[in-house]
Structures are given as structure tokens and as C-alpha cells.
Amino acid sequence: MSELVSGRIRHNAERLRLAHLAELAEQLVARAEEAKMGYLEFLDVVLEEEVGIREGRRFRNALKLSGLPHHKGLDEFDFAFQPELDARKVRDLATLTFAEHRANVCLLGPPGVGKTMLAVGLSIAACQAGYSVYFTTADDMVRNLKEAEAGGRFARKLQTYLKPAVLVLDEVGYLPLSRAEGNMVFQLVSRRYEKGSIILTSNKTFSEMGQVFGDEVLATAILDRLLHHAEVLSIKGPSYRLKDRMIERVEGGGADKRAS
């Protein structure tokens, strides 16, 4: 490729914001010549490379904006450690039909069984598929909304939790809410109803939500909207957080036995 043509391709690629093509045009041409690609095949490769770069950049930006506490995907979840959890159902959720239909996912169970990790794994899958995601604990959300309300910015702050296609509401029920705080959750769930998905994690059963939201009638109204279109997973099993300590204890016990 002549320097004149190479320079023109680079210039035009930069104008079109095709960064990958601008940087690697000559290498792509060399690959095409070595593989004896046809014109259409070469064009397909160029476009696929550019799309891949842009998607990777979009995915990284989506993760930054999501507020997720970590970036561990579902492939890192040890389903063998929670044998009563239906792994097929989790993988079905990872196809994101719930997000497509603006439905919800409720992950219930005692502390440490992996509810948040599953919620994060589903969120990462959603980010990869192009859905906007935002993660918050219920306590943080309510505190931020109360501060915004005191400053006359409640409606604007509420938009933070209404805009994402998938909102992760973590640790619902860890701290009880007043009726006024529960009403804020109701406004959120009501406004998102059939317009966006919620992935909720809680250590409480649905029958205990009256205590969580400070009012039985309010809790019923929240659950009515939350569960109308929802997948519910109740996780029963050992603490995922204590898994490594349990393994160390077993291995340590084995070593002690061998030494004795």
C-alpha cells in the first residue's frame, strides 16, 4: 500500500472515528493478503474488528457507571457449593429474557449464600448485552433520596434509579425502614413497574416485608407490583463467604491427622 493511500485511509478513518482502522489499516491489509481474502470477506473483517473494539469500550464504560461492587461473572459462581440452587434457572435468567420483558428477579436467602454475587453476575451479563445497569443497596438509595428530598431535589434524584434498564436493589430488609422511607421504595417500584427491571436481594421472606417497609398495606402494594412479573429464587445453603475457611479447616484437619 502506497504512503499516499495509507495516509488517506488513516485520515478518513479518523474523521469517521474508526480508531482501530486508523491505527491498524496496514496490518489488516497484510492479514487479508496472507489469507487471500475476497473483497467482501476483507470488508467483513474490518467492520467486525471495529465493532468489537467499540463494544469492548462500551462494556467497560457500562461497568464503570453501574456501581457494581465487583466484576465477577456467573462463571465464577460455585454452583456445586449450593446444590439446592437450580443452576439451570440461573442460566435461563442469564439469557436476559426478564430484562427484555421488563420483569424482575428476587433473590432471597440468609446472609452469605451468594445472592449479591448472583445479582452482580446477572448485571454483568446485562451490561454485555447492551442494557444499562445501576447497583445500589436499599439503605444507600433511601438515604440518598431522603437527602435529596430535604434539598428539594427528590424527583431529580429518583431519576437516578428510574433510568437504568436494570436496577439492582441489594440488601432489602437488612435495616428496617420507617413508613416514609418505605413510601420512597413504593414510588420507585411503582414508577419502574413494567418499564424497567429490578434485581432485588433480601434476607427476609415476603411475609416479613411488612416489618421491613414499616407498614403491612404499603408492603403489600410494593410486593403486588414487584412480583406481578418476577422470577423468585430462594437460596438455602451454607454461607458462600465462609467457603474458603471451611475448606482450610477440612484440609488443616486432614494434615493434622496425617501428622499424628
Given a cut of 50, whether residue 244 has pLDDT beyond it is yes
Residue 254 lies in a domain: no
In this prediction, residue 12 has a pLDDT band, given cuts at 50, 70 and 90, of confident
pTM across the whole model = 0.78
Indicate if 173 and 103 belong to the same structural domain. yes
Residue with cell 475457611: 245
Q: pLDDT tens digit string along 115-131?
A: 999 999 999 999 999 99
Q: Indicate the residue among 46, 66, 86 that finishes a domain.
A: 66
Mean pLDDT of the chain: 88
Indicate if 60 and 97 belong to the same structural domain. no
Q: Are 68 and 120 in contact (CB under 8 A)?
A: yes
Given a cut of 80, whether residue 249 has pLDDT beyond it is no
User: Domain containing 60: what range?
Assistant: 3-66
Least confident range of 59-73, 98-112, 148-162? 59-73
Please tell me which residue, 152 or 60, carries the higher pLDDT value: 152
